[in-house]
Each structure stands twice: as C-alpha cells, then as structure tokens.
Amino acid sequence: MILRIDDTDVGRNSDASLTSIFEGLRWLDLGWDEEYKQSDRLALHREVANAIFEKGLAYRDFTRAEATDSEKSGSHGTWLCNPGMRELTRQESDRRAAAGESFALRFKVPHDRAGHVTFTDAVYGDQAKAYADIEDFALLRSDGMPTYHLANCADDADLRITHIIRGQEHLSNAFKHALIFDAAGSVSPTFAHLPLLMAPDGMKLSKRVHGPVVSVTTYRDAGFLPAAFMNFLCLLGWSPKNDREKLTRDETVELFTLEGINRANAVVNFTEEEPFDAKALWLNAEHIRSLPPAELARELLPFVPADLARMTQITPLIQERMKLLKDVQSVADFFFAEQLPPYDSAELIPKKGDAAMAKTVLVRAREVLAMAEFTHDGLDAALRAASVELGIKAGQMFEPVRVAVCGRKIAPPLFGTLEVLGRETCLTRIAQAIEKL
RNA sequence: GUCCCUGUCGUCUAGCCGGCCAAAGACGCUCGCUCCUCAGGCGAGAGAUCGUGGGUUCAAAUCCCACCAGGGACGCCA
C-alpha cells in the first residue's frame, strides 16, 4: 500500500490539511509501505505528457488561462475543446511555443472516432463512453504543472499501482484516465469506484460545506476507537451479507471484497447538536464494551487526569456507560474531582422520603462505612443491613449515599464506586452532604 | 444542456441467475422485563404496497421497456 499525496495544485496545499491527513491515517493504523508526494515527481509527469504530445495525441492550447471560464460547463452545454487550437499545425504550434507564448497541453480526444472508451469497474461493472462525449481535458497547465489526471496516471503507471479505489465522483473521469494510460503505453490498474457518502441535506459530503464531520481526526478527538470507526465506514456501502455488523478489523479484512460493495450512495447522519451518526455511536459503544477493561483503561488515559492503575480500577464501572471515550469525562468525573462540584441538596432526598430521612440515612451510612469491610460484597451487606435496621427500602438507603458520594443521582453501581473511591473520600463526602441538610 | 451512476422501512443494509418475500437484519423510536439510579442485557411493537407506469410469466423486489426522482462529472481543482 502506497500513500501518495496529490499536491499538484500548489495554491491549495497547506501544512494544516497535510497534518490532518497524516494524523487521521496514522490513527487508523493503515500501515502503508511507501510514501510519495506528487510535487516531488514533476519531471516524470512532464516526461509522460511530452511523450503523449510527441505521439500526436495531445496539442498545445494557447488560449489565455483567464479566458477558460467559458470552458466551465453548466447550463450552456458541454465544452469539448477550444476551437482552433487542436487544429494548429505542428510548425505553428512550435513557433508560438518558441516565441515564449504560454500554453496548456490538452489531450486530443478523437471526437470523430466511432465507438467508445471502455473499462471494467470492479464495483460498477462494464463502463463505456463515446469518444465524442469526452472533452479535451488538460494534461499540463500553462505554468507547466501537471493536472490531477496526468499526474495520477503517470504515477500509477510508474509505481505499478494495481488498484485504484476511490469515490464514484471519479467514475466519469476514469474514461479520461483510460485514455491516458493507453496513450502512455501502460495498462490500466483495476478501477473500483465506491458509492459516495452523502450529508443529510442530500449533497455529497464535503469539508467545505459540512465542516469537521468529514475529518477523521474529529472522530479520533471525540473518542472513537479506530476499529469502531473503520467498522462504521466499511458498513457504508458494504456488508458481509450474513446479518453481521459488529466486526473486528481482522474479520473485516477476512470478509471484504470489492464485488460485495453496492452502488448506491449512503447518507451519513449528523446534526448541529449530535455530530455523529447514531449507528457509528452504537458501534463504538459495542467496541468499547468488548474491549478487555485493562485495554480500555489505556485508551481512556488521554481523556482523563488519572494514571493507568487508577483507570484500571474505574473502567469496569463505566465500560457500559460510554458511547465515546470522551464520555468518561462526564460519567466518571467524580472519581477525579478533589472536591465535588456543588449540587442541590434536594437531590439527597430519596424516593418517597424527606430531608429527615436523608439525614438519618447519611448519618447511619457514615457510621456503617467507617466500620464496614470496604469491598463490593462487604459494602453491599453493610448498607442493606442498615436499611433493614432503619426500616426503609434498600433503594432509599442507597440513593442519598450515591448522591453524597457522586454528586448526582445517575452514576455507576454504588458498591463498586464506593470501593474505588475509598473509605476516606466516601466518609468526607457523606459528612459534607450531612452539612447541607 | 451533455454524459455517467443510482432508486427496498427515517437511516445503514439483506434479498435481485423469478416461486420458500403479503420482504429479512441492524441503528434509531415506543413499550415491557431484569434492576441500588443510569447504563447494559432480554423480550415485544410501530415502521417499506420493494421510485412510478406498462409489459413478459401460472408466478416479479427479482427479467424487459418507458418515465420520474436523486446524485455525480463536464476546471489550466482534486
């Protein structure tokens, strides 16, 4: 696998985007073997362009670059070529070039030839397009820089690329590429076009209009597991066809085939409030749950002010409560806080109880916890016994303690939480809660 | 405008060399059960006349035709 940066449009290159690409791909651990930048390979591109020109399969277009807005098609019809330029004699063309006039080099598509350019796409099957419907696309710009089409074909041939797997937006460009490979005397790699990812608004997903949701690093920063993110992505336009959805990376590699890819575009759901597709979130939660706790603890470290030993204790308590690794911050915050953030003392009052009951419970809990064996089972037994003794329901006993210790009603299982928090912290927090009543 | 691609529940998909499909799974949603809260687990439910209209056939989501809709390309951007 080769990572090649397509950076022939000098004006658009930026370190920020390059960094983002590298970080994202490294995070996914794709493991490429070689790495290239197209801007380092311009000599090769020009050489290939020149060879095509010398074969008479391309021509110089001296039309001024600024004038080419008229080439942009749209409601006016299809632009096929700049008339006059492709008919220039070689002598005239050479003369103007020698005189220093700048030009773009265009592929001379044989518009008058009958028949079609054809290729077989591994996903979309046999493709054909009439010569007459393909415009004279540029190979070289007037500043001598290669275009995307030329640079890619030249590099693909030179690097002996076997498979071109890319978005369907290039399906119609592939005819041009077939033409270039042919003109350059090389064989086409296998083409495999993938269905596009669409935004909920129905448009093709794009960084420009849809923002950070299209960046891999956004998923990393929010706490997706690389395997889960890859799992989600692979399920967009592909399935193992046996009702399985949650797949490990190895399973995916095992089951994946180009032929199994479907041809319809897929919508990725996201909104302002919820930037991630619900299914992506679910898959991530599934992957989080199936990780060994020790491993999960390590993944959680970047999101949390705690060391591995501490996280290893906490992790089993919260493993089922996270969709994103980042959720650890809201789910386990009270484990890291020196001082609990302020909360409404009314929270301490148990169901069908009052402030007096809360106080009774907490006072008794403080006594019990001062003595109890500080393990899950020990705590369980001690607090249950206390509830019986006070003549209240177990839930009414647990609730005030939970709030006193976690600062809120919704929290991980109580006994494990108390155990990890430790006797000292628990007693302190309960004492503080009693003060509030 | 020209060319290319696509069209099954809200979303992602299965089925598509015709019958087992009055269409299956998953996410999400609703409701139960389990239960120290939440989460998880378990169970149930709502949800698509298979884009539309024709044909072929004893039989079509599956084959053929037309139409419509959506997307993409048409740049000296990738």
Pick out the nucleotide with least CA–C1' distance to A321. Answer: B39
| Triad A42, A48, A52: Cα angle to 5° | 140
A386 phi-psi bin (left φ>0, alpha ψ -120 to 50, beta other): alpha
Q: Residues A47, A51, A52, A53: is their CA dihedral positive or negative? A: positive
A59 touches strand B (CB under 7 A): no
A185 pLDDT band, cuts 50/70/90, is very high
| Triad A281, A282, A288: Cα angle to 5° | 90
Q: Rounded mean pLDDT of A8-12?
A: 84
DSSP annotation string for A337-402 = -SSPPP--GGGGSPTT--HHHHHHHHHHHHHHHHHS--SHHHHHHHHHHHHHHHTS-HHHHHHHHH
pLDDT at A75 over 70: no
- State, as a whole number of angstroms, the distance between the CA of A58 and the C1' of B64: 43
A72 pLDDT band, cuts 50/70/90, is low
Distance CA A214, CA A309 (A): 35
Task: Tell me what pLDDT residue A386 has.
Answer: 95
Distance CA A24, CA A30 (A): 10
Q: Report pLDDT digits (tens) over A78-87.
A: 788 888 899 9
- State, as a whole number of angstroms, the distance between the CA of A105 and the C1' of B32: 71
A264 touches strand B (CB under 7 A): yes
Q: Rounded mean pLDDT of A202-231?
A: 92
Pick out the nucleotide with least CA–C1' distance to A245. Answer: B26
3-class DSSP state of A126:
strand
- State, as a whole number of angstroms, the distance between the CA of A31 and the C1' of B50: 41
Distance CA A403, CA A90 (A): 87
- State, as a whole number of angstroms, the distance between the CA of A289 and the C1' of B41: 12
Place of tokens 């005819």: A175
Q: What is the CB neighbour count within 10 angstroms for residue A400?
A: 27
A70 touches strand B (CB under 7 A): no
Residue nearest to nucleotide B6 (CA to C1'): A264
As beta bridge partners, residue A332 has none
Q: Report pLDDT digits (tens) over A172-181.
A: 999 999 999 9
Element (H, E) at A159: none
A71 pLDDT band, cuts 50/70/90, is low
Chain-centroid distance, C-alpha A186: 34
As beta bridge partners, residue A34 has A2
Q: Which amino acid is at A360?
A: T
Distance CA A362, CA A369 (A): 10
Task: Tell me what pLDDT residue A67 has.
Answer: 52
Residue nearest to nucleotide B70 (CA to C1'): A202
A70 pLDDT band, cuts 50/70/90, is low
pLDDT at A65 over 80: no
Distance CA A137, CA A404 (A): 71
Residues 291-330 of A with CB under 7 A from strand B: 320-321
Task: Tell me what pLDDT residue A301 has.
Answer: 98
Q: Report pLDDT digits (tens) over A346-365.
A: 999 998 899 999 999 999 99
Pick out the nucleotide with least CA–C1' distance to A206. Answer: B78
Distance CA A114, CA A131 (A): 7
Place of tokens 């066809």: A241
Distance CA A263, CA A194 (A): 7
Distance CA A248, CA A287 (A): 8
A127 touches strand B (CB under 7 A): yes
Task: Tell me what pLDDT residue A9 has.
Answer: 85
Residues 100-119 of A with CB under 7 A from strand B: 102-104
Q: Rounded mean pLDDT of A14-35?
A: 92
- State, as a whole number of angstroms, the distance between the CA of A163 and the C1' of B68: 36
A260 touches strand B (CB under 7 A): yes
Q: What is the CB neighbour count within 10 angstroms for residue A229?
A: 22
Chain-centroid distance, C-alpha A181: 32
Q: What is the ipTM of this complex?
A: 0.94
Q: What percentage of chain A carries pLDDT values higher than 70?
A: 97
3-class DSSP state of A67:
helix
DSSP annotation string for A306-321 = S-HHHHHHHHHHHGGG
A181 touches strand B (CB under 7 A): no
Q: Output the average pLDDT for chain A.
A: 93
pTM of the model: 0.93
- The structure tokens listed for A378 are 């020990």
Distance CA A290, CA A115 (A): 56
Q: Report pLDDT digits (tens) over A397-424.
A: 999 999 999 999 999 999 999 999 999 9
- State, as a whole number of angstroms, the distance between the CA of A237 and the C1' of B59: 32
* Cβ-contact A194, A168 below 8 angstroms: yes
Q: Report pLDDT digits (tens) over A81-109.
A: 888 899 999 999 999 999 999 999 999 99
Q: How far is CA A167 from CA A61, A133, A150, in A?
A: 30, 21, 18
Q: What is the CB neighbour count within 10 angstroms for residue A289?
A: 13
Distance CA A74, CA A89 (A): 31
Among A113-122, A223-232, A290-299, name the one with the lowest average pLDDT. A113-122
A162 touches strand B (CB under 7 A): no
A68 pLDDT band, cuts 50/70/90, is low
- State, as a whole number of angstroms, the distance between the CA of A24 and the C1' of B76: 31
Distance, first Cα to last Cα, chain A: 65
A73 pLDDT band, cuts 50/70/90, is low
A351 touches strand B (CB under 7 A): no
Pick out the nucleotide with least CA–C1' distance to A169. Answer: B72
pLDDT at A56 over 80: yes
